[in-house]
């Protein structure tokens, strides 16, 4: 029951953030700090993860496609997997573990040490000062990190295809170009922005509702990460269901 009540509070916090954004209540300095924290400090880990997953995916797919005489579709299949699912979801998972946990721990520590109450005494709204900068940073930077993951992932797949399976780079890139459509990139950006907002809201809310001293901070941090991951996976299913209905038109130019 406590988990459900905190999840409900996170949804209500999202409504507060939306209303405050409509009024233009943005702390620019805190927002810039969070953009640097979320974006630049996550580039390396997201890039390494993307290229590793793409290389493994290519190894598993290429050998089977070559066996069935469909080597020209390897680049397209990897591109679709990266753009539609792997890049936005994996980047969100990384952000939930690296940034969402930090949000919950930092704000939770402020909560149990009465710093949140001190902000209110100084007539500073914690939502404006703490939550909104984090939501903006995650919503803006997660799509950027997703694009980086897509590019590095395609590069990793190209390396494996050309070096291990002697596939022409022109065939690989032409396949990716034929299979991908503008909506694939657009949908991944939409997913990434939604995932970023959810991670920031859940991490911030679990921090704001922390009780029980240092032990409570640890519990809130763990719960925030787990809840963020569950939210990403569940919401990703519904977004994919809505964004890609019916029969696919991918690769209509032929393999």
pLDDT, one tens digit per residue, over 165-186 is 888 889 889 989 999 999 999 9
Q: Domain locations in the chain?
A: 13-242
Residue 93 token pair:
């998972």
CB 186 within 8 A of CB 85: no
pTM of the prediction? Answer: 0.91
Residue 129 has pLDDT above 60, yes or no: yes
At 247, is the pLDDT very low, low, confident or very high (cuts 50, 70, 90)?
Answer: low
145 phi/psi in degrees, rounded to 5? -65, -30
Residue 235 has pLDDT above 90, yes or no: yes
- H or E element, residue 148: helix 132-163
Q: Calculate the dihedral angle through the C-alpha atoms of 109, 221, 130, 11, rounding to the nearest 10 degrees.
A: -130
Phi-psi sector, 103: left (phi>0), alpha (psi -120 to 50), beta: alpha
Tell me which of 52 and 212 has the higher pLDDT.
Answer: 52
Looking at residue 254, its pLDDT comes to 42
Looking at residue 255, its pLDDT comes to 43
Question: For 209-218, what is the mean pLDDT?
Answer: 87
Q: In whole angstroms, give the CA distance from residue 231 to residue 178.
A: 33
Least confident of 31-40, 66-75, 229-238: 66-75
Work out the angle at residue 48's Cα, subtended by the Cα atoms of residues 102 and 152, and round it to the nearest 5 degrees: 120
Residue 117 has pLDDT above 80, yes or no: yes
């Amino acid at each position: 029951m406590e988990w459900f009540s905190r999840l409900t509070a996170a949804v209500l916090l999202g409504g507060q953030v939306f209303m405050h954004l409509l009024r233009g209540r943005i702390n620019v300095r805190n927002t810039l700090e969070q953009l640097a924290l979320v974006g630049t400090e996550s580039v390396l880990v997201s890039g390494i993860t993307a290229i590793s997953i793409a290389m493994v995916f290519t190894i598993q797919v290429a050998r089977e496609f070559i066996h069935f005489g469909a080597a020209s579709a390897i680049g397209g299949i990897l591109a679709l997997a990266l753009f539609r699912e792997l890049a936005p979801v994996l980047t969100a998972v990384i952000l939930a573990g690296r940034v969402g946990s930090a949000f919950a721990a930092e704000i939770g520590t402020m909560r149990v040490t009465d710093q949140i109450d001190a902000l209110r005494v100084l007539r500073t709204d914690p939502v404006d000062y703490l939550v909104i900068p984090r939501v903006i940073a995650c919503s803006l930077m997660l799509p950027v990190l997703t694009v980086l993951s897509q590019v590095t992932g395609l590069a990793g797949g190209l390396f494996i295809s050309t070096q291990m399976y002697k596939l022409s780079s022109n065939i690989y890139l032409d396949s990716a170009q034929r299979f991908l459509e503008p909506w694939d990139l657009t949908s991944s950006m939409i997913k990434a922005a939604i995932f970023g907002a959810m991670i920031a809201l859940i991490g911030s809310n679990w921090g704001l509702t922390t009780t029980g001293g240092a032990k409570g901070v640890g519990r809130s941090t763990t719960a925030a990460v787990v809840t963020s991951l569950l939210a990403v996976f569940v919401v990703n299913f519904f977004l994919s269901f809505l964004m890609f209905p019916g029969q696919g038109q991918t690769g209509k130019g032929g393999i």
